[in-house]
Chain A
Amino acid sequence: MGEFNKPFDAIVVGAGPSGNACAYMMAKEGLNVLQIERGEYAGSKNVQGAILYADALEKIIPEFRDEAPLERHVIEQRMWMMDDKSHSGMHYRSDDFNEEKPNRYTILRAQFDKWFSSKVKEAGALVLYETTVTELVKDLSGKVIGVRTDRQGSPIMANVVILAEGVNGLVGQRSGLRNEVSPDSVALAVKEMHFLPRETIEARFNLSGNEGVVIEAMGTITKGMTGTGFLYTNEESISVGIGCIVSDFAETNVTPNELLEAFKNHPSIKPLLADSECKEYAAHLIPEGGYKAIPQLTGAGWIVVGDAGQFVNAVHREGSNLAMTTGRIAAETVVSLTRKREEMTAANLAEYEKRLGQSFVMKDLKKYKGIPELLHKNKGNFFGTYPKLISSAMQTWFRVDGIDKISKEKAIFRNFRETRTLWGMMGDAFKMVRAWR
């Protein structure tokens, strides 16, 4: 590999959604950008459900629908509360989602990220694959002035380094820019890709053309741990997975694989996957700590974007859109400073945080700042007791067995009161409302 003599305007570490968004925006504005990715190709190390939220990408590549590898546009959302044999749910399906420019798509990240990376190169950035950044290079004042990699002999210099290195973020953590991630603020998710003919998927999920369905599930499927399961329809495959907070997993002896197998074999899920062929098994960490877990985001010569900055809205299962938006806003900040020929000092780069504060990213994370802790502290009730109570109430109500409806109502209320006490339920409701506001 050659040496780079002239410093770059910016180096981006990582080629996921946040890094690609950032590198693309800066290169498009004429900056001299180097992006470094450890995978053989962009996407080869990346794992997501995955749902793409069009709005965030539209603000970066408005015409993305013409060329990006998209699977299905989502017309139906199913939210399931599950016990061991049942699910009760809320489904929302609308023909309005069959619009000219759909709002959400299912995607396969390995393919999508590869496409996004090709756009970054088209925009003029230099992208190095199969190269792992090992450390940051700082000057005597502590300002970040470049990176070292496992390929180039001498350090590669830049005016600013954008850390889009994902949830594990070794470079930033080892350089002391932010604390190590704590086991109670990340979830471990495992996922499988199940292939089926597209007609089978369309018949099973009541779809036509490129319409898609997503299912998000919670309940006894996580065995009392804080977590959720999901099932997304792709063009010719189904993504199915489940994730729980790492510290919860560490306290049980349930393996992630066993949890996924049990979820796949749940009577509500099993028929949806029947006769499919599994072609990949993946695992990934998801930042779940929310607003309170966000680390320091800027300093002299550096900015953090995407999962490395814990930008995930766990309540709404949004992450890639926050990643792309933080990448875009970081790029806008760097472009503006570069044009004004201003230094990438801590004070100047703080503009990024100011801009983030005005965006949906910080507003949403702030709104739900109390939720992760609330769910985690009360996991027994939210992921066990309530799903079971609701299932049993549904069954009492729908089973016709000669018992009168007044007695059935009484039985349902009695069951709730005896299992979780009136005060307990009111307390949980109050805490949830307060955390939601």
Chain B
Amino acid sequence: MDKLEDFFNENKDQFDYIDASENDWERLNAKLDNKGKAVAKRRSLAPILAVAASVALILSFALYQFRSQPPTAIKSLTGLDLGMQFPEVALQNPDGETVALSELNAHLVLVDFWASYCMVCNEENCYYFKPLYNEFKDKGFEIYAVSADSSAHSWMNAIQRDQLDWVQVSDLKGFESPIFDAFDVNSLPTNYLLDQEGRIIAKNINVDELENTLYGMFAYK
């Protein structure tokens, strides 16, 4: 081990260059107040908002009716084992287009079950999947990310915030959605790694194994 690294390890908390001042808090406090004012202002618009809300409600109900027609029936399964064919799934992406797993033209597909509120999933997306995806997407690696969100806003927000460029789909029915039972997903994140024919190579692969697999498969392409 390196002496310099050891030294940092022992003295990590001594590398402050700058001191927080009470002024910083005052500024923040004032900004947080501004938010309060904005809310108060919005309240005076309540009647207009009420009308808008009811229109939105009718629209979303119509949309819900439309959405609740399942794009593809998902056969209920108990237990998906290695080597088995992963069942077909087709859900909508944030643009409202239905994307089927079988449509993906990839040599290796990671089906990832996640949610915007799952911190571990977010970490995994940002720190592990993103670099691997960027490195291997052009060589035939794809991620089919199924979200357990029920709010379209939170879902899309997380995708945009973390710039998740791979396939994103959800039925927006939350973790209660039958999809998760169908694919034997009891906790988030859960993933399945599929080969070109859609057979299950691994379940809940960790990032090191995934990286090794990707390098092993695509290093010479």
A and B: interacting chains: no
Interface set of B (CB-CB < 8 Å, partner A): none
